[in-house]
Chains A and B, each alone.
Chain A
Amino acid sequence: MKVGCLFSGGKDSNYTLFLAKKNNLDIKCLISIIPKNEESYMFQSDGNNFLEYQAEALNIDLIKQISKGEKENELLDLKEAIKKAIKKYKIKAILTGAIKSIYQASRIQKICDELNIFCINPIWQIDEEEYLNELLKNKFEIIILSIAAYPLNKSFLGEIITQNTKLKLIELYKKFKISPIGEGGEFETFILNSPLFNKKIKLIDFEKKMDSENSGKIIIKKMELVKK
């Protein structure tokens, strides 16, 4: 089946692609909505300027749609982008990396229904600890791009998620109930390497910008694709 994948460059959409490839789906395109509003209800706003690096490493076409990031209007932008993918690539289904957000999942389901295509959510309700284990086992190189919850602090920014980070995140979940996979918006990620990448991404220059003690992000200045 020909499919398009909603793509943010983070761990969830990249792991979804990995499962789709294992399931022999024909991935025709990545679809990214670029919200101008950092507080978008639906879409990740960090790392969007660098999605082309991942698309090139994956060797999959990328459809980028700019959105003002306003509550319901951004759904119209998403629908437009999916329409383009249907027209250009004849896709029959949309893949998403939705895990827990009923808000997000039900809105995408409605759009797919209106456009008469299927929606596939391969990591829907996945066990959070098992998911982290799978990401590490399959050698996804995941960098923490932004944080937005106590007690995450500047030291987490730019950290590559390792077994040690996983243990720290699970400990924080036990103490403070923050999701160890950032499902409540506690942190966002960017993938530097995945089993599907032909090349890996090397982060050359970035700076950490903090808004408060527990909220901040990485401003990426330069990255490049290098041999794996």
Chain B
Amino acid sequence: MIKVLIIDLSPTKNSLWKNEFVYPITKLIKNISNYTIIHFTDLKKTNLETFEKIILSGSPLNDFKAINKIELFHWIKDTNKPILGICAGFQIINKIFEEKLNLKKLQEIGLIEIKIEKKNILFSNNLKVYCLHNKGISKNQKIENFEILATSKICIEAIKHKKKDIYGVLFHPEVSNNEIILNFIKN
């Protein structure tokens, strides 16, 4: 089975936010993968090369601990592993590649409609997605290194790196539209 690393971006290690943001992912992939969970503060101790795919989890609203430790994530630039970043993971991926980018105060909480902008392996239709974020990238903002896969009325909601298999979704596919995570693992 495929070896997957899930990086827990919750503010503290083994907190109940792991139940909220990581376990729903493991519930989905437990039968199709051999997964390992680590907290982001343990990244330096982890040999990323032993994994085939990597998922960066979400984290609670108004928590910015992981993104404020961006130096722990520079490996994303060098790796060729497929990565899926969810919410906080999406924000970190953007911060790594788009250094000049400032995340704006753009709140979306609840079910939000998103429009597909480009055909991709994760989803094929417009969707209603579950959002839980206070910051995002404005729909009209230019980003250099990514293709925009989907947008909401105000935000860029899904991206893919132009040269790498690195995906980011601002919404939470571990809550609804679970097939996005399954497609990432299977494809």
Contact = CB atoms under 8 A, between A and B. Distances in A.
B110 A106 contact: yes
Contacts of A25: 16
Interface in B1-17: 14-17
Contacts of A109: 61, 109, 132
B132 A127 contact: no
Do most interface residues of chain B lie in helix, strand or loop, or is the interface mixed? Answer: mixed
A202 to B, nearest CB: 31
Interface string A87-127: 00000000100000011001101101100101111111111
Contacts, number: 62
A112 B20 contact: no
B13 to A, nearest CB: 11
A161 to B, nearest CB: 22
Interface string B25-65: 00100000000000000000000000000000000111100
A116 B16 CA distance: 19
Given A119-B60, A120-B20, A125 B130 contact: no
Q: How large is the interface on A (under 10, 10 to 19, 20 to 34, 35 or more residues)?
A: 20 to 34
B132 A106 contact: yes
B110 A120 contact: no
A167 interface: no
Given A106-B109, A109-B132, A113-B109, A122 B61 contact: no
A122 B60 contact: no
B70 interface: no
B127 to A, nearest CB: 14
Given A125-B23, A126-B23, A120 B111 contact: no
Contacts of B14: 23
Interface in B167-182: 174-176
B60 to A, nearest CB: 5
A116 B63 CA distance: 11
B126 interface: no
Given A106-B130, A106-B132, A127-B27, 10 more contacts: A19-B16, A102-B111, A106-B111, A112-B61, A113-B62, A113-B109, A118-B60, A118-B61, A120-B17, A123-B19
